[in-house]
Structure 1
Amino acid sequence: MTGSRAGYTLMELVVVLALLAIATALVGPAVGRTAEDVAARAQVASVAAFLRGAREQAVTSRQTVEVRVDRDAHALLLWRTARDGQDTPPARRAFAAALRVESAATPSAILFQPQGMSSGARVMVETTGPRLFVVTVEALTGRVTTQRVAR
């Protein structure tokens, strides 16, 4: 019997298992960080979308819209004044991230005008990690942009 059998030796299997264990140990933590980063970016995108929606409402309704920050509840509140002068109940959007607003105009508030302009503001979004993002609302155009800030 001079034929050889097809298969792997025990040593080859041990080497492959060792390489898989090393690869898993290196990749595992990176996957966890990526999931946290995706969640953080989703929070930031949600804040930006809320602000863009407020600007859109101001333009389409031809009324000034105010976005206030409720720091204790980690929420944004959208206020509109009706044509008869009465404030409508605010639309509320809660977020898991801690929100902090820096605004040149009214403290903790951003005003959107019917012409598309705004009071301008920088919304600081602190997420787990800790990660810090800045959502900027330009005063002249009301344009909303996001940017990650290195700590």
Structure 2
Amino acid sequence: MRGHDQLGFTLLELLVVLVIAVMATTLVAPGFSQVTERMALRGDSQKVAALLRFARSESIAQGSKISIELQPETGTLLIYSQQATSVYPVESRTDISLTGNRNESVLSNRILFFPDGSSSGGGIHLRSPAGHYQIVVDWLTGRVEVDG
């Protein structure tokens, strides 16, 4: 006859713990994917804002106009300067749109930065199933802000 002083767990106790662990994983896993998508979208918005700030500073440093244009079919941003054209892809799951200032002297599908630090103004909108961000470029100061 066995005593009750044995160490260890019964099979029933192990099964109960296993069922609880599976249920907890099932409930928590979808939340992780939303968090990672939200973080990726936020990262994309920060990268695009940094790109716009860089374009503004390069325009001032070079003393020439720099243009940012969106290629919607590829989801890439093009930066045109006197020295080169640069291509920057955006995350494939992100829907991106560019709204330029509706000024008649400036094309509305691009944002221009001028050597004095000003810009044509406009915005870039990033959307994904996890949310959206809007990056706004002030026309007078060229300041770039991210609204989330």
CA distance in 1: counterparts of 2:140 and 2:34, whole angstroms: 37
CA distance in 2: counterparts of 1:73 and 1:17, whole angstroms: 46
CA distance in 2: counterparts of 1:109 and 1:143, whole angstroms: 16
CA contact 2:97–2:126 (8 Å) conserved in 1: yes
CA distance in 2: counterparts of 1:24 and 1:3, whole angstroms: 34
Tell me by how many angstroms 1:79 deviates: 1.6
Structure-2 residue corresponding to 1:143: 143
Q: Deviations over 1:7-61 (max 9, x none)?
A: 2223322221121111111111111222222222222222112111101101111
1:9 maps to 2:10: yes
TM-score w.r.t. the length of structure 2 is 0.82
How do 1:46-65 and structure 2 match up within 5 A? 46-65=47-66
TM-score w.r.t. the length of structure 1 is 0.81
Unaligned segments of structure 2, at least 5 residues = none
1:92 maps to 2:87: yes
Percent identity (aligned): 28
| RMSD (Å), alpha carbons | 2.0
CA contact 2:45–2:146 (8 Å) conserved in 1: yes
Unaligned segments of structure 1, at least 5 residues = 82-87
Runs of 4+ in 1 over 6 A off after TM superposition: none
Structure with higher RCO (Cα < 8 A, 6+ apart): 2
CA distance in 2: counterparts of 1:2 and 1:17, whole angstroms: 27
**Aligned residue pairs: how many?**
141
